[in-house]
Structure 1
Amino acid sequence: MSIDVKLKDISLTLSDSRILDRVGLDIPAGSFVTLLGPSGSGKTTTLNVLAGFLKPDEGSVLFDGQEVGSLPPGARRLGIVFQNYAIFPHMTVGENVAFPLLAQKWKGDRKARVSEMLELVKLGGFENRRAATLSGGQLQRVALARALSPNPQVLLLDEPLSALDKQLREAMQSELKSIQREVGVTTISVTHDQSEALSMSDRVVVMNGGRIEQQGSAEEMYCKPRTEFLARFLGEVNLFEVSAKGDASPLAERLPGRAGELVVVRPEDFSIAELGGIGTHAFPGRVAQVQFQGGSCRVEAVVPGRDDPIIIRTNYGGLGTLLEPGRDITVVYDFSYVHTVAKGGAPA
């Protein structure tokens, strides 16, 4: 059974520092929500408040409309996957997965439940394996199976994939989301990995300085950030200041923003063409540096009226000599993705 979760005006001060400042969240039942932000933004503290490990100074934590702030962690029907997995090395895989069933006096068939959970995480037949013999990816699966075994109302994930190498981490992102959908449990994750948050989440919540900077779908957060902080934090970005005339050199047309605001253009919204084919949404430039990155290239280009180079991300196929440093090019952009934000952290 999945439930909705609500944080209402949560504030917390530790060692005279305001760690959380009136944090409010509404998390629908069965959804996958990720808390994302730089170190010290308050995301892990928020997870600890949800878990009951920290008690806020102000505000309420509600599960399906019921206040749970006074309940200890063990009474909140949570499944938790810790960053280091916290697997008991002296136990077998099956004993690890069965541990919360014993602690919570599970009334059903424990052996069958363990087997069911291991099948879910693709570790069927591993019941008698010692935890010390498992790989990092297998340990992560055991930790997930153990967290899900007592049928929690809410699943909390604390940097669940950070200990894995890049290739395995990317593979596990898809698998973890698939398992969450199959089980249907309300899931709240904390990560510093932006690609992980964007690829796995129904909703991303970006925190900054103990407050929520913005929340929404992954596409909305990346393509339509409302603040300069978010535009810079989520991936690479090109920012152009709007002048008193309403333009932002080298962008050609008049822009909807006000003077002093910043125009946001993501690197992949630029493309490269032969010099001379300049249209409405294009301007001349010169290739300064090219970095081959597998499926794409990261290009830095010098353009008129701008001190810093712009960043372009493009497929390298078919561009040939256009990607040579020193080559004069036309930079084309997709105006439908161009929008403005206010400087600093306040929404435009």
Structure 2
Amino acid sequence: MTRAISLHDLSKTYPKQPAPAVDRFSLEIPPGEFLVLLGPSGCGKSTVLRMIAGLEDISSGELLLDGEYANNLAPGDRRMAMVFQNFALYPSMTSRQNIGFPLRFEMPGEDQNPRVEETARILGIEEILDRYPGQLSGGERQRVAMGRAISRHPSVFLMDEPLSNLDAKLRSHLRAEIARLTRGMGVTTVYVTHDQAEAMSLGDRVAVMRGGVLQQVGSPRDTYHLPVNVFVAAFIGTPRINLLQATVLAPLGGGMWIDFGRQRLGLPEPLSLDHQMLRIQQGRDIIVGLRSEAVRIAAPSSAHAGEVVLSGIVEHVEYQGHECLVHLNTGAKPAVVPELEAPRLPAQRTRSAARRAAAGPGGLGKLARKAAGRFPGLLQEPDGAGAVKVLDPPPADRAEQPTGDLVVRTGPDIRVRPGDRVPLLVDLAHLYVFDNTGRRICPAPAEQPRLE
């Protein structure tokens, strides 16, 4: 029997940490749903999963299983099965023994082999049942780990980044298997990942987290097309949404423009209801979001209704076989989402100063100095944890250069080269506007989701 999970203002705090790891997290998970907890590393998604499993104490709030209070329920009494990132198999046991291990406690004195073999057939691993984990590939080990969870016939599956240690091809294959298995069994599943491709392809709903706070919950389609804030918009989507800093110009009795600095995007009259909302942003800084498919390279004469004209200079073309990604400079300044961006070196820092700052004392410094000498096109900058990040060097004339960047998805037959100036047509129906707090104000959602 599958279970409903209710989380009411769930919080988790740790000693000596000023901010809670999870802050007032509320969510209803109906029976049989596949819910994905998505967010960057350290956002609290695994902590939520462990509180559901009973592996972490709940600092405040309520956990309800089928409507019954479960904060203090022992993990073994919750009828849940968990699949971990690192497989967590017993190396001295065969696959058969690993899969059957939890059945020792659930079926004492009974023959466990029929349940183990049934699980192996479901996963297609009958031929490896008598092998040890050291004799298996990463994908086979993860299947055995999943088999150990499936054999229990749990009411809830909890999966903590189960595919992150596998190569890309195997991840894609096992992703499809997980979707098939969980839907076939109809079991409630909570899946944690930082990979938005996994989240979009697996989840009935996606819950996006940031800094311990739930940002948005919705279907993959809604989180992509109707992000509630700039963080969700930037985190979901490949390539990442283009985010440009701009200002609204709306003089009395005149039209309305979005000013990017070197270019202006004029909004056609009469203004739509969404665009009328921008009048209150007159003179204020905003962030404009454009998905790569919302802009096309085409002459103004071929513009469709709802498209307006910009231009850009081609910086780079990524040929991907079935499509191209064209990187353009529009003269705008890109907006930065701190959690998703690597630190940038200030333009005034010299190459030698950057090397000295990266090098520091000790063995790591020696490696950094060697790398800087061998690859002079790269600069290193240490982060707060002591790791070294490799960054592109700023051009000497960065201050005079426009720093805007726009990525446009095109067909594979595009014929443009770096340095070409090309006309761009922007589809206003897919133009997102965020205020200076990061909230989306255009297009306006019919019902604004809860946002902390």
Distance 1:285 1:345, change over 3 A: closer
The alpha-carbon deviation at position 345 of structure 1 amounts to 4.6
From 280, 293, 297, give the equivalent of 1:268.
293
What is the aligned partner in structure 2 of residue 41 from structure 1?
Answer: 43
Q: Which residue pairs with 2:376 in the alignment?
A: none
Aligned to 1:4: 4
* Count of residues in correspondence between the two structures: 346
Are 2:310 and 2:423, in contact at CA under 8 Å, matched by a contact in 1? yes
For the residue of structure 2 that corresponds to 1:243, the secondary structure is strand
CA distance in 1 between counterparts of 2:16 and 2:249 reads: 43
Q: Does 1:309 align with 2:413?
A: no
2: CA distance, partners of 1:155 / 1:37: 19
| 2-structure distance, mates of 1:274, 1:108 | 74
Amino acid at match of 2:5: V
Structure-2 residue corresponding to 1:144: 146
Contact 1:227/1:342 (CA < 8 Å) preserved in 2? Answer: no
Gaps of 5+ in 2: 251-255, 269-274, 334-401, 442-452
Q: CA deviation at 1:303?
A: 2.4
SS in 1 for 2:192: strand
Instruction: Report the residue type matching 2:11 in the other structure.
Output: S
CA distance in 1, matches of 2:249, 2:296: 28
Whole-angstrom distance in 2 between the partners of 1:107 and 1:151: 18
Shift of 1:108: 6.5
SS of structure 1 residue aligned to 2:413 = coil
Contact 1:275-1:329 within 8 A present in 2 as well: no
Distance of 2:182 and 2:29 partners within structure 1:
15
Q: Is the 8 A contact 1:229 1:344 kept in 2?
A: no
Taking structure 1 as reference, are residues 19 and 267 closer, same or farther at Cα in structure 2, changes over 3 Å only?
A: same
Q: Does 1:253 align with 2:267?
A: yes
Query: In structure 2, what is the equivalent of residue 297 of structure 1?
Result: 324
Aligned to 1:215: 217
**Using the alignment, how far apart are the partners of 1:158 and 1:281 within structure 2?**
45
Contact 1:4 1:28 in 2 (8 A): yes
Q: Does 1:243 align with 2:248?
A: yes
Offset, 1:281: 2.8
**Which whole-Å CA distance do the structure 1 matches of 2:21 and 2:316 have between them?**
41
Map of 1:318 onto structure 2: 413
Indicate the RMSD between aligned Cα atoms, in angstroms: 2.1
**Cα separation, 1, equivalents of 2:424 and 2:69:** 55
Q: Deviations over 1:240-270 (max 9, x none)?
A: 4341424324433153443244332111222
Q: Cα distance, 1:33 vs. partner?
A: 0.8
Please give the alpha-carbon distance, in whole angstroms, between the structure 2 residues aligned to 1:145 and 1:67. Answer: 29
Mapped contact 1:286–1:301 kept (Cα < 8 A): yes
Residue from 101, 115, 119 that aligns with 2:121: 119
The one of 23, 27, 33 equivalent to 1:21 is 23
Shift of 1:276: 5.9
Q: Which residue of 2 aligns with 1:340?
A: 433
After superposition, what is the alpha-carbon deviation per residue over 1:156-205, rounded to whole angstroms, capped at 9, x for unaligned?
00111001011111221112111110111100011111111111111111
Worse-superposed segment, 210-219 or 329-338 = 329-338
State which of 181, 184, 200 in structure 1 corresponds to 2:183. Answer: 181
Structure 2 match to 1:193: 195
State the SS of the aligned residue for 2:433.
strand
Return closer, same or farther for 1:30/1:339 CA change in 2, 3 Å cut-off. same
Q: What is the DSSP-based 3-state SS (H/G/I as helix, E as strand, rest coil) of the residue aligned with 1:281?
A: strand
**Partners of 1:284 and 1:152 in 2: CA distance:** 57
Deviation track 1:18-48 (CA, whole Å, cap 9, x = no partner) reads 1111110111111111111122211111111
Contact 1:32 1:188 in 2 (8 A): yes
Contact between 1:3 and 1:186, CA under 8 Å: does it hold in 2?
yes
**Contact kept in structure 2, 1:263 and 1:340, CA below 8 Å:** yes
* Amino acid aligned to 2:427: D
Greater alpha carbon shift after TM alignment, 282-291 vs 1-10: 282-291
Q: What is the rounded CA distance, in whole Å, between the counterparts of 1:227 and 1:206 in structure 2?
A: 11
C-alpha contact 1:298 1:311 (8 A) present in aligned 2: no
Residue 126 of structure 2: SS of its match in structure 1? coil
Q: Partners of 1:74 and 1:342 in 2: how far apart? A: 47
Superimposed CA distance per residue, residues 303-327 of structure 1 (whole angstroms, 9 cap, x where no aligned partner): 25664333234244222x2x21122
Q: TM-score, normalised by structure 1?
A: 0.92
SS at match of 2:101: helix
Q: Judge conservation of contact 1:226–1:341 (CA < 8 Å) in 2.
A: no
Within 1, Cα distance between the matches of 2:219 and 2:70?
27
Give the distance between the partners of 2:297 and 2:152, measured in 1 at CA.
54
**d(CA) in 1 for partners of 2:26 and 2:411?**
44
Q: SS where residue 157 of structure 2 aligns?
A: strand
**CA deviation after TM superposition for structure 1 residue 278, in Å:** 5.1
Report if the CA contact (8 A) 2:433-2:440 is conserved.
no
Stretch moving more, 17-26 or 234-243 = 234-243
Q: What residue in structure 2 maps to residue 284 of structure 1? A: 311
Structure 1 residue runs without a partner (length 5+): none
- Deviant stretches of 4+, over 4 Å: 106-109, 274-279, 345-348
* Range moving further from structure 2, 262-271 or 91-100: 262-271
Instruction: State the Cα deviation string for residues 272-304 of structure 1 (Å, max 9, x = none).
Output: 225764564332222121122343322111225
Q: Residue type matched to 2:267 in 1?
A: E
Please report how far the alpha carbon of residue 74 of structure 1 lies from its aligned counterpart in structure 2 after TM superposition: 1.1
In structure 2, what is the Cα distance between the partners aligned to 1:247 and 1:58? 48
